[in-house]
Structure formats: C-alpha cells, structure tokens
A and B are shown apart, each in its own frame.
Chain A
Amino acid sequence: MTIDLSQFHAIFLEESFEGLQVMESSLLNMIEGETDVDIINNIFRAAHSIKGGSATFGFSNVAALTHVLETLLDEFRSDKRIVTKDLISLLLESVDCVRDMLSAIQDGGKYNESSAIEVQNKLQQVLTGEILSINNPDEAEEIESDVQGWRILFSPYPSMLQNGNDPFRIIREIQSLGSVKIEVDLEKLPILAELDPEDCYLSWEILLHAAVSKDEINEVFEWVIDDCDLKIEPIGSDVVIQDTDNEIIEEMLSTAANARDDVVKGDQESESLSRLSPEVKHKRTTNSGSIRVGIDKVDEMINMVSELVITQSMLGQLGEDFTMVDIEKLKEGLCQLERNTRELQESVMRIRMLPISFVFNRFPRMIRDLSNELGKQVELRLSGEQTEVDKTVMEKIGDPLIHLVRNSLDHGLEKPDIRVANGKPEIGILHLNAYHKGGSIIIEISDDGAGLDRDKIRNKAIQNGLIADDDILTDEKIYDLIFQAGFSTADQVSDVSGRGVGMDVVRKNIRELGGSIVIKSTPGEGSKITIHLPLTLAIMDGQLVRVGDEIYIIPLVSIIESLQIKPEKVKSITGKMELYKLREEYLNITRLYQLFTLTPDSEDINDGLLVVVEGDGAKVGLYVDELLGQQQVVIKSLETNYKHINGVSGATILGDGTVAMILDVPGLIAISKDRAENTVERVA
C-alpha cells in the first residue's frame, strides 16, 4: 500500500515550528546550574516529537540533529550534566539550525549546511569529547545459509496473555516464514474446574523449514522474549518437515479467539486481510497554508448556521402565502436574518484571529541575543499577548515589529554605565503591549531609554537634504522625519539596526495594512511607538457619506465625530486655507468635492457637514454634503483592479450594486497637510 506522506508535511512543519518555539522559550527560562525537571521535560518532549516526525517523514538531516540534541537534553534530565550558559547558547543555536532546516523544507529552499554540521559537531563534542563517525547502518547481515530449518521450543509463561500477546499470532507469523510442523504440548493444561482462562498453559514445538536467519525468528518473538522460554536450534537437511495443515491452524486460531472472547466478553471481530484496500487516494498537498481553529469557534459557527437555517425556513414558510397582514412578521424575520448573518460573519472572522503572542514570542530570544551583542541590560515586559489579530495582519506585522524593537534596543536604551550616570536603574525596560480599542488593535512599544534626540534628527535631516536649514518644525514633525526613506541617526551603522531596511519601510508596511504609526518621545525618559491596526483586512465598518452624486465610505474607526458647521468657527487664511475651531483645536478643512473635482449640492460651508477624522496622530475635517448610513463593507483592492489613487484605499460594492470608493484617511490627512504647508509658505 502506498501512502503519500507529503500530505502530512504541512502539519508536521507547523507543529515543529511550534515545538521550536516551546524549546526556545523554555531554554530562555533555564537557569545556569539548576535542573528544572519541568522545563527540561518540555524541551525534551518538543525535540522528541520533531525527531520522531522528521524521521518518519523522511527529513533525515533534521532527525540526525534533533537526535544529538535529545541525547544532550537527556543528560540534563538524568543529572549527568550541569546546565551552563554555554550549553544553553549551544541549544539555542541548535534550535535556530533546526528552524532553518525546516524553513528550507517549507519553502523548498536551501539551509545553511555548514552551520548545521558545525552545530551538530559541537553537540557531539560536548557529548563525547570527540567527533563520532557515523555508523554505517547498511552493514550486511550474516546469513547462515547452510541451515535448512529450525526447531523452535516455545513455552509461554502463564502470564503471557496479560499484556495482550497471543501465542497463536506468533505461530501464524512463524508459519508465514516457511513450511511448519507444529506440535502442541497439553501436559500443563489443568482440568476445566481449575483452569484460569487468563493464563496460558500450552507450549509448542515448531519445526520450521525455511532458509531464514535466527534473527528473523527472534524478531517474531521480539515482544514476548521475556514472557516465555524460547529455544531456537538449527536442524539439518535430513529432517523432513511435513506442513501442518493450514486449516488446522486456522481452526485453532478461531477456536482460541472465540473461547477467549467469551471469557473477557469482548466484541473482537476477526477481520481478514482482504479488507486492506490497495487503493490509496493521493491527496495533493497545497501551499495554501493552514490555520488551527479551536473547537469552540467551530461549534459557535455551527450553532449560528443552524439559527440561520431556522430563520430561512421561517421566512420560506411566510413567503408561501404571503398577505400584507404578515408584513410585521416579515420585518421581524428579516431583522432576525440580519442578526444571524452578522453573528455568523463575526464568528467566521474569529476563525482567522490568532493571539498576538505568536509574534511576541519571538522577542524574548531576540532581546537576549541583542542585549548580549550590544552590551546592554534589558528587561522585556510583555502584556496583552492574548489579544487576537487577523492572521494576515499578524504575518505582516512581524517584521516591522522586529525592526522597531531592534531600534529601541540599539538607539533607545542606553548602556548600563550611561544609565547609572543619568540616575536611572541599570536595567532598561522594553515594554510590548497589545490591546483592542474600538475596531482596532493597538500595539505599543515603549522603552525608558534616552528618547529621540531632536537636534540630532534635525541635523541629520538637513544633512540629507530632507529639510532646509531654516525650516521651523514642530516636535511631531521632527519625529516624523525618522520615517523618511534612508534616515538613520546612529552615529555608526551598527550590526543591529540600519541594515538597509529603514523606518520608512516599517511605516509603509503598516500603512499597507490600513494602519498607522505614531512616535512620542521625551528626551531622557524614553520613547513610545504606537501602532494602530485594523482588526481585519477583509471587512470593515464604514460610514457612507455623499458628495454631490458620489458616495464615499469613511472607515468608522477613523471618525472621531461628525458635526454641523458653525460659521463663526470657520477661519480662513489667505482665502485659500480654511480652519475650523473645534473646542481648543484648529482643524484643516478639506472639501472633498474639490479634491475629487465633483459638483457639490452647495459650496457654502454652512450647508454641508464636517466629519472629523484622525489618522497618523493628526486630525482633519472632511467637508461632505450628507451623512448616509453606516454599514459593513467588504474591501476590494483598487490596485489589483485599477491603480493606486491618492486618498483612496479601496472600493466596495454597495447593496444596490454601485461601486463606492473607500477613503484613505491617513492619505487624505497627508494631502491636506501638504496643501496647508503650501499655503503657509506662500503667506510667509
């Protein structure tokens, strides 16, 4: 029977990566000189599973490395070896190596073979003090060719049945090796009244006529070698073996099986070999990726679907002979349908949600390595790890977060001596926090380091020609400069950050996810980076607004408030730029009809409405003709179907079939800022 093992590769890789994560975080919790059995068992179990799986699925390189790894762990477990810092580092190195190998399998790429060998040799050296040569497993087995057959004396102990072994099974197996003559010894069989059905009283003498090695026979008895007296001796060619009739054996087998079944009242059914189906469905493995979903989430969905079915049948019945009297019932039914649909949608969306700990878990290891490398002392605090994020968002936010954390460590946190000199505790704190707020996920990265150096950034920006010498910039604007392409403030580009990918890429990635990033910093006290991300990428809550004949959608998460414009609060600068005084703040007013060159109902500012939106930490007022309803919209990409347009993040199809554009709030704010600056420049 052929079974395509590659169909299990994806799941094997997935669980192995999880296993590596467990190993890594447990290794980080290991303390020098202490043998915490629970921690070591955790690591051991994970390594063991990876080893077993990789061997089974044919990844011998992984199996070989995890085998040595496991041997070392076993020595910790049995107190033969003491945990040292070097060994922890070596184990971590091995984890990286295995991860590299598995990633190579996943992507069909190559792994760093030399470092794998190096790690394996290091492990081997630790274990034995020298490099072992690998035994050749293909050594030819010695076959005693002149042997014509074997006499097997098989006397099971009375207890042999107790562990589920069956002498008849063994005899049948011997029979499959060649022709046999079997004699049963009934001598020890007591009278029925004294017979204990749980004991075995029989023994056998088997004459096997076959050119097999003794090892092959021993293998048949492998499981029962300690439960019986066994004597295997060769017989010469002069002994003629007459085949014991197959039928007799079969009869013996079935009688015995029946008898015992009656005793234990089991319901064992004997199934013949013919049931083995030779056909195997080859399931094609795809690279579409999989997701693990908790049973509770699936149950909830099934529950929702059954509710939906009930509602559907109720509406169906109502429709059969509908009269206007039933209109209330119909409305009620439609209401219910709407509720069911929404709940179903929510639970379907929840399937894609994973706790952000998947990303956060990478950091303890990274911080450990980086702080060693940079000679800094850092305490990592994680909170809100259970906050759930859409899988796609999670996959895309990983790299930007790593970059930000590297930056905080490299540029933000100071070396211990400088910290002490500045009256701060020696150990710096890096805090990663995640939480839900409205329809977004907020991720905060804060440190108690030196904060951003305003002047340094400014000088650098002037040097790079990003700003002019005499530009007057707010703090906010200056901090924003670090997100510009090719900006790095480190005096010397270190190994840690500044390796090509800059903050501009970070911001770009986050914006692509429909999110925004803001940095706040106090010199000497630290910085805090806040990332806003949408909960999901496929669906969002939108506010429908009308401008002229067009309908636009503003993401509800970006809207702070909508208000009727009071003319006395509108100030205009040079007749071009308009500001609105909202409480103590001045907002730029952006007239959407101007931006999209439409004909509005009225150009008089008093006739329309102002929608105050926030993005990238800034606010702006959008002037629209009318507010329509709020609804959930499915986001369709504009880039894939048309091309990128400034100020528009996507499109959707409304209930009546028309297409509406979804506004890109951070983009609109940027446009509005540019216009404002142009105006200010002209005034100046």
Chain B
Amino acid sequence: MTTILTVDDSTSMRQMVSFTLKEAGYDVVEAKDGVDGLSKAKNSKFNLIITDVNMPEMDGISLVKALRAITRYKFTPILLLTTEAGPDIKQEGKAAGATGWLVKPFNPDQLLNTIVKVVG
C-alpha cells in the first residue's frame, strides 16, 4: 500500500489533496504544518510526502531539509505545492532536497498525474 503524507496549513487544500488521493486508492495521512508533518513522518514510513511551502511553525523547505536528514527518507519522493512558479522557490526547494513541485492552482487530475509519476 502506498502511504502518502500531505502537509498543509490550509484545511481546504489539505482535504482536497487528501480526498483526491484517497479516492485514487492511496493511504493518506494529513499534517497541519511542518512540525506536525515531521513528527508524523518520524513515527511512520511514507512512500511520498506532499507539502505546502508557506506554513507557520515550520515551512515546507525546512521540512524537506529535516526529512532528508532522516535515513529512511533519504530517497523518498517529496513534492512541494507552491503558488510560486518562479525560479527562486524551485531552486530553494531543490537545494533543500525536494524531488519536484506542483504549481497551484492544480486540479485533482493534475495532482494524480503528478503523483503517478513519482509513486506509480
């Protein structure tokens, strides 16, 4: 079973992502910010992590860095959800170790197409 962690401080976005993925048959765990996401990631094993960038407590970039420091997440795909398509955030995300990104707004199909790319 593919288990996905979705981290977003916006409940509606998180629920949308989570609902779409669940409908597609994935196991989904939600976290409300970077700190919550990191602690959930530590207590479990996810095959994919999708995180928002701009969040209180711990932002998406810091979360990626923290996850990459954990051995079992060294190669796990981590996707950033971002409203910014500019080179800055991409560079920053890549430098932190993010696998890729998905630019908001996206619809459920676009989300699933991207997910399928990374986890099959």
Contact of B13 among A45, A53, A198 (CB under 8 A): A53
Contact B97 A163 (CB under 8 A): yes
Contact B1 A269 (CB under 8 A): yes
Contact of A164 among B9, B25, B97 (CB under 8 A): B97
Give the shortest distance, in Å, between A226 (CB) and chain B (any CB).
6
Contact B15 A11 (CB under 8 A): yes
Q: How far is the CA of A272 from the CA of B116 in the complex (A)?
A: 9
Q: How large is the interface on B (under 10, 10 to 19, 20 to 34, 35 or more residues)?
A: 35 or more
- Is A209's CB within 8 Å of the partner chain B? no
Give the shortest distance, in Å, between B72 (CB) and chain A (any CB).
6
Q: Mark B24-66, 1 if CB is under 8 A from A, else 0.
A: 1110000000000000000001010000101110000000000
Contact B23 A56 (CB under 8 A): no
- Is A161's CB within 8 Å of the partner chain B? yes
Contact of A8 among B15, B25, B55, B119 (CB under 8 A): B15
Q: How large is the interface on A (under 10, 10 to 19, 20 to 34, 35 or more residues)?
A: 35 or more
Q: Mark B92-110, 1 if CB is under 8 A from A, else 0.
A: 0010011111001111110
- Is A49's CB within 8 Å of the partner chain B? yes
Contact A270 B120 (CB under 8 A): yes
- Is A266's CB within 8 Å of the partner chain B? yes
Contact A268 B47 (CB under 8 A): yes
Contact B74 A15 (CB under 8 A): no
Give chain B residues whose Cβ lies under 8 Å from the Cβ of A11: 11-12, 15
| Contact A56 to B1, CB < 8 A, known contacts A163-B98, A164-B78, A223-B101 | no
Contact B120 A161 (CB under 8 A): no
**Closest residue to A66 on the B side, CB-wise?**
B83
Contact B24 A1 (CB under 8 A): yes
Name A's interface SS. helix
Q: Mark A374-416, 1 if CB is under 8 A from B, else 0.
A: 0000000000000000000000000000000000000000000
Give chain B residues whose Cβ lies under 8 Å from the Cβ of A51: 83
Give chain B residues whose Cβ lies under 8 Å from the Cβ of A265: 72
Q: How far is the CA of A390 from the CA of B16 in the complex (A)?
A: 30
Contact B120 A56 (CB under 8 A): no
Contact B15 A276 (CB under 8 A): no
Q: How far is the CA of A264 from the CA of B45 in the complex (A)?
A: 12
| Contact A56 to B13, CB < 8 A, known contacts A222-B100, A277-B25 | yes
Contact A277 B23 (CB under 8 A): yes
**Closest residue to B2 on the A side, CB-wise?**
A271
Q: How far is the CA of A49 from the CA of B32 in the complex (A)?
A: 13
Point out which of B11, B75, B98, B117 has the most chain A C-beta atoms below 10 A from its C-beta.
B75
Q: How far is the CA of A198 from the CA of B71 in the complex (A)?
A: 12
- Is A107's CB within 8 Å of the partner chain B? no
Q: How far is the CA of A76 from the CA of B99 in the complex (A)?
A: 31
Contact B54 A226 (CB under 8 A): no
**Closest residue to A264 on the B side, CB-wise?**
B75
| Contact A52 to B9, CB < 8 A, known contacts A164-B77, A198-B74 | no
- CB contacts under 8 Å to B, within A222-270, are 222-223, 226-227, 260, 264-270
Give chain A residues whose Cβ lies under 8 Å from the Cβ of B9: 45, 49
Contact B12 A275 (CB under 8 A): no
Q: How far is the CA of A271 from the CA of B118 in the complex (A)?
A: 11
Contact of B10 among A44, A52, A164 (CB under 8 A): A52
Point out which of B71, B72, B117 has the most chain A C-beta atoms below 10 A from its C-beta.
B117
| Contact A162 to B97, CB < 8 A, known contacts A53-B12, A268-B47 | yes
Contact B75 A45 (CB under 8 A): no
Contact B105 A271 (CB under 8 A): no
| Contact A163 to B99, CB < 8 A, known contacts A198-B74, A260-B75, A271-B2 | yes
Give chain B residues whose Cβ lies under 8 Å from the Cβ of A271: 1-2, 25-26, 119-120
Give chain B residues whose Cβ lies under 8 Å from the Cβ of A275: 24-25
Give chain B residues whose Cβ lies under 8 Å from the Cβ of A143: none
Contact B54 A48 (CB under 8 A): yes
Contact of B120 among A48, A223, A272 (CB under 8 A): A272
**Closest residue to A54 on the B side, CB-wise?**
B105
Give chain A residues whose Cβ lies under 8 Å from the Cβ of B23: 1, 3, 277, 280-281
Contact A165 B54 (CB under 8 A): no
Give the shortest distance, in Å, between A223 (CB) and chain B (any CB).
3
- Is A204's CB within 8 Å of the partner chain B? no
Q: How far is the CA of A280 from the CA of B23 in the complex (A)?
A: 7
Give the shortest distance, in Å, between A162 (CB) and chain B (any CB).
7
Q: Mark B1-21, 1 if CB is under 8 A from A, else 0.
A: 110000001111101100110
Give chain A residues whose Cβ lies under 8 Å from the Cβ of B81: 52
Contact B10 A49 (CB under 8 A): yes
Q: How far is the CA of A166 from the CA of B116 in the complex (A)?
A: 13
- Is A68's CB within 8 Å of the partner chain B? no
- Is A12's CB within 8 Å of the partner chain B? yes
Give the shortest distance, in Å, between A256 (CB) and chain B (any CB).
12
Contact A165 B100 (CB under 8 A): yes
Contact A223 B83 (CB under 8 A): no
Contact A223 B99 (CB under 8 A): yes
| Contact A55 to B83, CB < 8 A, known contacts A1-B109, A276-B24, A277-B24 | yes
Give chain B residues whose Cβ lies under 8 Å from the Cβ of A8: 12, 15-16, 19
Point out which of B15, B74, B112 has the most chain A C-beta atoms below 10 A from its C-beta.
B74
- Is A273's CB within 8 Å of the partner chain B? yes
Contact A264 B106 (CB under 8 A): no
| Contact A1 to B108, CB < 8 A, known contacts A48-B83, A55-B83, A271-B1 | yes
Q: How far is the CA of A169 from the CA of B117 in the complex (A)?
A: 6
Interface residues, chain B, CB within 8 Å of chain A? 1-2, 9-13, 15-16, 19-20, 23-26, 45, 47, 52, 54-56, 68, 71-72, 74-78, 81, 83, 91, 94, 97-101, 104-109, 112, 116-120
Interface residues, chain A, CB within 8 Å of chain B? 1-3, 5, 7-9, 11-12, 15, 44-45, 48-49, 51-53, 55-58, 63, 161-166, 169, 173, 198, 222-223, 226-227, 260, 264-273, 275-277, 280-281
Q: Would you mind naming 21 contact pairs between A and B with Cβ atoms under 8 Å apart?
A: A1-B23, A1-B24, A1-B112, A3-B19, A5-B108, A7-B19, A11-B15, A12-B12, A15-B11, A56-B104, A163-B98, A164-B77, A164-B97, A223-B101, A264-B74, A265-B72, A266-B45, A268-B47, A269-B2, A276-B24, A277-B23
Q: Known A-B contacts: A163-B78, A271-B119. Give 18 more (CB < 8 A).
A: A3-B19, A11-B15, A12-B10, A49-B13, A53-B10, A55-B83, A56-B107, A63-B105, A162-B74, A162-B97, A163-B98, A163-B99, A165-B100, A223-B100, A260-B75, A266-B76, A271-B25, A272-B120
For the complex of A and B, 6 pairs with smallest distance between CB atoms: A223-B100, A55-B105, A12-B12, A164-B99, A164-B77, A3-B108
